[in-house]
Amino acid sequence: MGLKQNLHNLKKKYEGTKMAPLFNGFHTFLYTPDEVTHNGTHIKVVDDLKRTMNTVIMALIPCLIFGMFNAGYQHYLAIGEIEAVSSGFFSAEFWTLDNFLIGAIKVLPLVVVSYVVGLAIEFVFCIIKGHEIEEGYLVTGMLVPLIVPVDIPLWMLAVAVAFGVVIGKEVFGGTGMNILNPALTIRAFLFFAYPTWMSGDKVWVHGAVERAEEIAGGANLDAISGETILGSLAQGNSAGYSVADMFFGFIPGSVGETSALLILIGALFLIFTKIGSWRIMLSSVVGALAMGLIFNGVVSSGWITESSKFYGLMSTEFWHHLLIGGFAFGTVFMATDPVTASQTNKGKWIYGFLVGFISILIRVFNPAYPEGVMLAILLMNVFAPTIDHYVVQANVKKRMKRLKVKTA
Amino acid sequence: MGLLSKKDAKLITDPLADNNPITIQVLGICSALAITAELKASIVMAVSVLFVLGVGNVVISLMRNIIPSKIRIIVQLTVVAALVIIVDQVLKAFAYELSKTLSVFVGLIITNCIIMGRFEAFALGNGPWKSFLDGIGNALGYGVILIIVGFFRELLGSGTLLGFKVLGDPIEKTGLYAIGYENNGFMLLSPMALIVVGIIIWVQRSRNKDLIED
């Protein structure tokens, strides 16, 4: 009589009542169900929704852990207590317990709030609508803490999660029916509702906002910069970080987006397990590079001068765009969301290409917000069904033609 | 209901709930999105439409037998335009600041689909008293939604109601702001008005399942 047996009994006890989905959900989360299907033809597959979700979470875990270290590292670096990393990815300055503790204290509450609020709403809707709990929130709940600034107040996150889950997903009918990626809906809500917490040069490093206030209040502290690379490029300054730093992720940014290396590992893992679509990831990278090359071409042919406010970002070498900002993270973990992306293979190429292309376009031309991947993915989410429609129609047309040739 | 017969009373109560011009017929959405960032503007807009639709319906109803049906739209437009100009001038004379906030949207009452819709659908076929009640009812239905949306948008977006700081002062950090509350800037943007209207529609239809279309 362990937990498993108790759960089996509880499940039996609540069968048929309104609370049944709650116990069923908890039970199948921990154990394989003890009943089997009795009639009809069955195909046995191992990758059910729950396993799919868990695979994505596994791919996210390295980013999360790195994000915790990085939050602490950026904080201590900014107040001048430690030196910058010097010896590659495994620098001793970075992987310290102090760094991790600060990061964990700041990041874990984000994870907890995201899951508690999101799952509570899912449970309530399951009980009202009387269907089984869907695992759709598992990945969203992990993505959300990774794409927000580390210092965001928890109540704001809770409000945003409630909005994103209800308006972004449940009104459309729950998991699998949503038009927009829920994690990005949550982030977009935060961005438009509380812009002072979501953009600017101070929010991305823990403690930077308070410190700036203290300095403004007359305290004798060294001013610190928590500016992201995109932020300084947009103002026409140099990036201030080496390419290795960008690739390894020792840069300011939202919790999980900084390390291109770990995102790449996550991407390979998703492609290897066939959870994420390599077509979307690849075509998105191609799209971003294409847009980057166009901008580089514009700069090198002298069409804009250095006084232009777009010069800084336009003259950034085209492949640097893949390493800075949230592009890599968005492409790998959000553009590939199987619900909101295009479903057809040809559609995936078009969808992915446009995500990359528009990301860099917005990144360069939107002066208020030097990052475009969130808006680009949300925009393409809306167009994904249209793309699919035309791909399917084109195929129908092609086959109709073949049919006519044969019959004629 | 001594004053009104049951049938007449329905003309007023129906548009307030189960036949609401905004949430059921989905008319007049543009002004509901554009001017509801402040409660005061919503109320003035609601009152203006109440005047235009109430008087306009009576006028059209009185003229219904002499309007040639080929040019009836032009006649209707003339009536609305005349009434809207009256409203506009009154606002400019007595509430100049507010008329600036509402800007073109007072003039755009002319194109508010609810008004032309009621003229066409009701006033052209019914007597003046009934048309008056119908106009009042529909304008109230429109106004109620406007005021609900305006209430939530101003409260959550600016922390004020009719200009009073009900949640405390965001700059001096009093009231709710002392514990870290912040205004929701999204509420001031028009897309949020659409979402608020959507939520009202959702609540209304889940309370009355008959309203759900297939």
- Tell me the pLDDT tens digit for each residue of A57-80: 889 999 999 888 888 888 888 777
- On whether the CB atoms of residues A200 and A225 are closer than 8 A, the answer is no
State pLDDT tens for residues A268-286.
999 998 888 899 999 999 9
Based on C-alpha coordinates, what's the Rg of chain A? 23
State pLDDT tens for residues A323-365.
887 888 999 998 988 888 888 999 999 999 999 999 988 888 8
State pLDDT tens for residues B86-137.
998 998 898 888 888 777 788 888 888 888 888 888 888 888 888 998 888 9
What amino acid is encoded at A125 in this protein?
F
- On whether the CB atoms of residues A86 and A94 are closer than 8 A, the answer is no
User: How far A155 CA lies from chain B's nearest CA (Å)?
Assistant: 9
Contact list in A for residue B184 (CB cut-off 8 A) is 159, 193-194
pLDDT at A299 over 50: yes
User: How far B135 CA lies from chain A's nearest CA (Å)?
Assistant: 33
B161/A203: higher pLDDT: B161
- For residue A109, give the nearest of A151, A62, A162 by alpha carbon: A151
Q: Which of B180, B185, B186 sits opposite A153 (nearest CB)?
A: B180
Q: Does A167 touch chain B (CB under 8 A)?
A: yes
Name residues whose C-beta falls within 8 Å of residue A108's C-beta, 6 or more positions apart in sequence.
none
**Contact residues, chain B to chain A, C-beta under 8 Å:** 180-182, 184-187, 189, 195, 198, 202
H or E element: which one contains B73? helix B72-94
Spell A316-355 as b/e; 16+ CB within 10 A means b: bebeebbbbbbbbbbbbbbbbbebbbbbbebbbbbbbbbb
Name residues whose C-beta falls within 8 Å of residue B8's C-beta, 6 or more positions apart in sequence.
B129, B130, B133
Nearest CA in chain A to B199: A167
- On whether the CB atoms of residues B119 and B60 are closer than 8 A, the answer is yes
Which tokens hold the place of B53? 């639709």
User: How far B180 CA lies from chain A's nearest CA (Å)?
Assistant: 8
Q: Which of A194, A213, A378 to mutate to test the interface with B (most CBs of B within 10 A)?
A: A194
Question: Hey, which of A128-137, A243-252, B59-68 has the most confident mean pLDDT?
Answer: B59-68
Contact list in B for residue A195 (CB cut-off 8 A) is 185
Average pLDDT over residues A120-148: 84
| C-alpha distance from residue A222 to each of A83, A125, A235, A247, A252 (Å) | 15, 50, 22, 28, 18
Taking the C-alpha atoms of residue B43 and residue B149, their distance in angstroms, rounded to an integer, is 11
Mean pLDDT of chain A: 82
pLDDT at A387 over 90: yes
pLDDT score for A200: 66
Q: Which of B185, B198, B202 sits opposite A193 (nearest CB)?
A: B185
pLDDT at B1 over 50: no
pLDDT score for A372: 81
A195/A268: higher pLDDT: A268
Q: Does A193 touch chain B (CB under 8 A)?
A: yes
Average pLDDT over residues A143-152: 88
Can you tell me the ipTM of this complex? 0.82
- For residue A227, give the nearest of A213, A216, A239 by alpha carbon: A239
Contact list in B for residue A192 (CB cut-off 8 A) is 185-186, 189
- For residue A231, give the nearest of A363, A348, A126 by alpha carbon: A363
- On whether the CB atoms of residues B101 and B41 are closer than 8 A, the answer is yes
- CA B3 and chain centroid, separation: 26
Based on C-alpha coordinates, what's the Rg of chain B? 19
pLDDT more than 70, % of chain A: 86
User: How far B186 CA lies from chain A's nearest CA (Å)?
Assistant: 4
Spell A272-296 as b/e; 16+ CB within 10 A means b: eeebbbbbbbbbbbebbbebbebbb
Strand partners of residue B161 = B164
Give the A window 73-92 contacts with B, CB below 8 Å. none
pLDDT at A290 over 60: yes
- For residue A229, give the nearest of A308, A323, A355 by alpha carbon: A323
pLDDT score for A285: 93
**Largest CA-CA distance found in chain B, in angstroms, rounded:** 66
User: How far B43 CA lies from chain A's nearest CA (Å)?
Assistant: 25
Nearest CA in chain B to A167: B195
pLDDT score for B19: 80
- For residue A120, give the nearest of A25, A224, A249 by alpha carbon: A25
pLDDT band at A245 (very low <50, low <70, confident <90, very high): confident
Nearest CA in chain A to B182: A194
CB pairs under 8 A between A and B: 24
Kindly write down the DSSP assignment for every residue of A40-71, as one continuous string: S-----S--HHHHHHHHHHHHHHHHHHHHHHH
State pLDDT tens for residues B161-201.
887 887 777 777 777 777 778 888 888 888 888 899 989 88
Q: Does A368 touch chain B (CB under 8 A)?
A: no
pLDDT score for B17: 77
The answer to whether B202 contacts A171, with C-beta atoms less than 8 Å apart, is yes
Question: For residue A206, how many C-alpha atoms fall within 13 Å in the half-sphere facing its CB?
Answer: 22
Taking the C-alpha atoms of residue B103 and residue A112, their distance in angstroms, rounded to an integer, is 46
User: How far A247 CA lies from chain B's nearest CA (Å)?
Assistant: 34
The least confident of A111-125, A167-181, A194-208, A247-261 is A194-208
Taking the C-alpha atoms of residue A256 and residue A64, their distance in angstroms, rounded to an integer, is 6
| C-alpha distance from residue B74 to each of A65, A231, A336, B109 (Å) | 69, 56, 54, 16
Taking the C-alpha atoms of residue B38 and residue A148, their distance in angstroms, rounded to an integer, is 30
Taking the C-alpha atoms of residue A176 and residue A235, their distance in angstroms, rounded to an integer, is 41
A243/A383: higher pLDDT: A383
Taking the C-alpha atoms of residue A96 and residue A82, their distance in angstroms, rounded to an integer, is 11
The answer to whether A193 contacts B184, with C-beta atoms less than 8 Å apart, is yes
| φ/ψ of residue B184, rounded to 5 | -95, 105
- On whether the CB atoms of residues A180 and A220 are closer than 8 A, the answer is no
The answer to whether B195 contacts A167, with C-beta atoms less than 8 Å apart, is yes
pLDDT score for A33: 63
Task: Give, rounded to a whole angstrom, the gap between the first and last alpha carbons of chain A.
Answer: 73
pLDDT at A263 over 80: yes
Taking the C-alpha atoms of residue A118 and residue B177, their distance in angstroms, rounded to an integer, is 25
- On whether the CB atoms of residues A75 and A240 are closer than 8 A, the answer is no
Contact list in A for residue B198 (CB cut-off 8 A) is 167, 171
Nearest CA in chain A to B191: A192
Residues found in chain A: 408
CA angle at A270 for the pair A268 and A272, rounded to the nearest 5°: 65
Name residues whose C-beta falls within 8 Å of residue B170's C-beta, 6 or more positions apart in sequence.
B159, B177, B182, B183
Average pLDDT over residues A155-171: 90
The least confident of A43-52, B73-82, B147-156 is A43-52
User: How far B213 CA lies from chain A's nearest CA (Å)?
Assistant: 15
pLDDT score for A54: 84
What amino acid is encoded at A162 in this protein?
A
Task: Outline where A84-131 has alpha helix (H).
Answer: 97-129
pLDDT score for A192: 87
The answer to whether B189 contacts A192, with C-beta atoms less than 8 Å apart, is yes
Taking the C-alpha atoms of residue B51 and residue B54, their distance in angstroms, rounded to an integer, is 5
State pLDDT tens for residues B130-151.
899 888 898 998 899 999 999 9
The answer to whether B186 contacts A155, with C-beta atoms less than 8 Å apart, is no
Which tokens hold the place of B55? 């008087």
Which tokens hold the place of A180? 């927009």
Kindly write down the DSSP assignment for every residue of A223-261, as one continuous string: ------HHHHHHTT----S-HHHHHHT-S-SSTTTS-HH
User: How far B185 CA lies from chain A's nearest CA (Å)?
Assistant: 4
pLDDT score for A40: 74
Taking the C-alpha atoms of residue A187 and residue A378, their distance in angstroms, rounded to an integer, is 11
The answer to whether B186 contacts A192, with C-beta atoms less than 8 Å apart, is yes
Taking the C-alpha atoms of residue A216 and residue A211, their distance in angstroms, rounded to an integer, is 9
| C-alpha distance from residue A81 to each of A27, A66, A71, A158, B61 (Å) | 47, 20, 14, 33, 81
Taking the C-alpha atoms of residue A338 and residue A59, their distance in angstroms, rounded to an integer, is 16
Q: Does A403 touch chain B (CB under 8 A)?
A: no
Q: Does A268 touch chain B (CB under 8 A)?
A: no
Q: Which of B186, B195, B206 to mutate to test the interface with A (most CBs of A within 10 A)?
A: B186
State pLDDT tens for residues A78-106.
777 777 776 677 777 778 888 888 888 88
Q: Does A171 touch chain B (CB under 8 A)?
A: yes
pLDDT score for A276: 85
State pLDDT tens for residues B21-56.
888 878 888 888 888 888 888 888 899 899 999 999
The answer to whether A194 contacts B184, with C-beta atoms less than 8 Å apart, is yes
- Report helix, strand or coil for B161: strand
Residue carrying the six token digits 């889950």: A165
